[in-house]
């Protein structure tokens, strides 16, 4: 039986992870849970899954919770790290949103925990450090992303040296057919109406800008030690094929499935086993067509920024991520326009003085500074 800590248990990935746990009581047990501030849902999760400890990022909410339950309640980033390091845990599911996910991941790895990773920012901002720690501590990192789960399955048993190209698929998001002019008036409400996936707000906006795909390019580089020049993105609106691997003999392997995050979550938790799933079966006769398009870098410049940041390396991906995090936050709050997101990211990348081989503290320092600078610029352009 695998014993889990779920960081971000009240979010989209966290709640789906708990559905899988509930459906497989002989395979998984929950030891730790964390939330940002949703203590009402966390209380229900505590009653059902009976963890030994929990953490709440919001310290005031953590104090409220302490009076209602009789297990250890920790608070702040220190509390989240404690849940990631619990002695009773062997696998940490990181479904936190944003760069806050970096330190808990690294601390969990240093404490010999296997990682099931949904937090993109961990590898985007600190990929070199994370993968070095994974190797040093001899633990596993399993991707939860549907695209990276697909690549992992296509590569299983293969030699990475035999791979010609990795192609990551993208739905194209809700604005796939929008002109640049139409995007000028795109709203947060419209951006949150994803055509195929049900995800959290931040990742849904990242899908609309294609930044989500940009992050996945950087993640793929670190996960599979693969050059950026051989990682492609293709728009696939049906979201049935999740990624494609082409080998040097020109054979191509793809992984298919319905757009349901429970499939890659369960695989990340159960690997190397496969378990019966509560997800709907893929019925090929129901699919009318599978179509593919090249991404438009002019309409979706975030994708180009990600390639540029990844190739430049050092602290540049941290700049990309930090500026994006703040821009998306303010777009969701109706403070800036949709096209301001790439404008802000481009401006912050252009200004940044690169640190080529940064320490974790330098990465986190850049993250903090870029967020502050991005907020300052936004205050001048708020509508």
Contact 95, 144 (CB under 8 A): yes
Distance CA 15, CA 19 (A): 6
pLDDT of 217 reads 98
pLDDT of 382 reads 59
Angle at 94 between CA 165 and CA 304, to 5 degrees: 40
What pTM, to 2 d.p., does this model score? 0.95
Q: Which of 333, 363, 372 is nearest to 121 (CA)?
A: 363
pLDDT of 195 reads 77
pLDDT of 270 reads 97
pLDDT of 193 reads 86
Domains and CATH numbers, the chain: 2-143 (3.40.50.720)
The string of pLDDT tens digits covering residues 258-311 is 999 999 999 999 999 999 998 999 999 999 999 999 999 999 999 999 999 999
pLDDT of 143 reads 97
pLDDT of 247 reads 98
From edge to edge, which strands make up the β-sheet containing 2-7?
A: 72-75, 53-56, 28-35, 2-7, 91-94, 114-117, 141-143
Contact 104, 7 (CB under 8 A): yes
Low-confidence residues of the chain: pLDDT under 50? none
Q: Which residue reads 């940009």 in tokens?
A: 214
Contact 5, 92 (CB under 8 A): yes
pLDDT of 383 reads 53
């Amino acid at each position: 039986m695998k014993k889990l800590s779920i960081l971000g248990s009240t979010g989209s990935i966290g709640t789906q992870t708990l559905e899988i746990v509930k459906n497989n009581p002989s395979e998984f047990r929950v030891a730790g849970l964390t939330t940002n501030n949703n203590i009402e849902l966390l209380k229900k999760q505590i009653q059902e899954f009976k963890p030994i400890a929990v953490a709440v990022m919001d310290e005031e909410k953590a104090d409220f919770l302490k009076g209602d339950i009789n297990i250890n309640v920790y608070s702040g980033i220190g509390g989240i790290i404690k849940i990631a390091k619990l002695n009773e845990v062997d696998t940490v599911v990181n479904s936190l949103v944003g760069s806050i996910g970096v330190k808990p991941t690294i601390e969990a790895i240093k404490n010999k925990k296997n990682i099931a990773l949904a937090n993109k920012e961990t590898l985007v901002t600190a990929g070199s450090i994370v993968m070095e720690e994974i190797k040093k501590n001899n633990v596993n990192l399993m991707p939860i992303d549907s695209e990276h789960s697909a690549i992992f399955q296509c590569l299983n048993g293969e030699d990475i040296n035999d791979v010609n190209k990795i192609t990551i698929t993208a739905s194209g998001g809700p604005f796939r057919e929008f002109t640049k002019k139409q995007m000028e008036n795109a709203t947060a409400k419209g951006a949150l109406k994803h055509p195929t996936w049900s995800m959290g707000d931040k990742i849904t906006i990242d899908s609309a800008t294609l930044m989500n795909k940009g992050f996945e390019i950087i993640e793929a580089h670190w996960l599979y030690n693969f050059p950026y020049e051989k990682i492609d993105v293709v728009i696939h609106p049906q979201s049935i094929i999740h990624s494609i691997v082409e080998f040097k003999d020109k054979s191509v392997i793809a992984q298919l499935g319905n757009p349901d995050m429970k499939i890659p979550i369960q695989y990340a938790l159960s690997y190397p086993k496969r378990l019966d799933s509560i997800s709907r079966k893929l019925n090929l006769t129901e699919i009318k067509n599978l179509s593919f398009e090249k991404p438009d870098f002019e309409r979706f410049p975030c994708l180009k920024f990600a390639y540029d940041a990844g190739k430049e390396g050092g602290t540049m991906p941290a700049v990309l991520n930090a500026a994006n995090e703040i821009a998306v936050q303010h777009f969701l709050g109706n403070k800036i326009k949709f096209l301001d997101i790439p404008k802000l990211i481009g401006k912050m990348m252009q200004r940044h003085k690169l640190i080529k081989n940064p320490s974790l503290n330098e990465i986190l320092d850049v993250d903090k500074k870029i967020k502050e600078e991005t907020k300052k610029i936004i205050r001048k352009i708020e509508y």
